[in-house]
């Protein structure tokens, strides 16, 4: 997020870009992958790690791991988009 702040992008815009990037596979008719779904449940639906684990029937550690990797991919996608927009 520091990189995005340096670029002068408002946090509300960053949130919308992040959400659009996160939901993009759904827009094209694909279901969210197994790491994106827990992140959506956490960030968009406001669910807790234990709630997500119970619903998906996976251990809490697995939820945390999937959220970590989804955030990492999202950050990379946002940084790539920012870089492309600079050119």
User: Could you state, in order of their start, the residue ranges of all structural domains in the chain?
Assistant: 2-86
pLDDT reported for residue 2 = 44
pLDDT reported for residue 6 = 43
Q: What is the spatial distance between Cα 42 and Cα 12, in angstroms, rounded to a whole number? A: 18
pLDDT reported for residue 23 = 57
Q: For domain 2-86, which CATH number applies: 3.30.479.30, 3.90.226.10, 1.10.10.10, 3.20.19.10? A: 1.10.10.10
- Segment-wise mean pLDDT, segments of 10 residues, the chain, 87 residues: 45 56 53 76 86 93 92 81 77
pLDDT reported for residue 77 = 77
Nearest to 39 by CA among 12, 10, 21: 21
pLDDT reported for residue 8 = 47
């Amino acid at each position: 997020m520091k990189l995005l702040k340096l670029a002068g992008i408002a946090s509300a815009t960053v949130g919308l870009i992040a959400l659009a990037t996160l939901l993009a596979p759904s827009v094209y008719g694909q279901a969210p992958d197994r790491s994106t779904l827990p992140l959506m449940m956490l960030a968009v639906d406001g669910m807790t790690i234990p709630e997500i684990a119970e619903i998906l029937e996976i251990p809490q550690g697995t939820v945390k791991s999937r959220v970590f990797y989804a955030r990492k991919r999202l950050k990379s996608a946002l940084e790539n988009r920012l870089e492309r927009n600079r050119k």
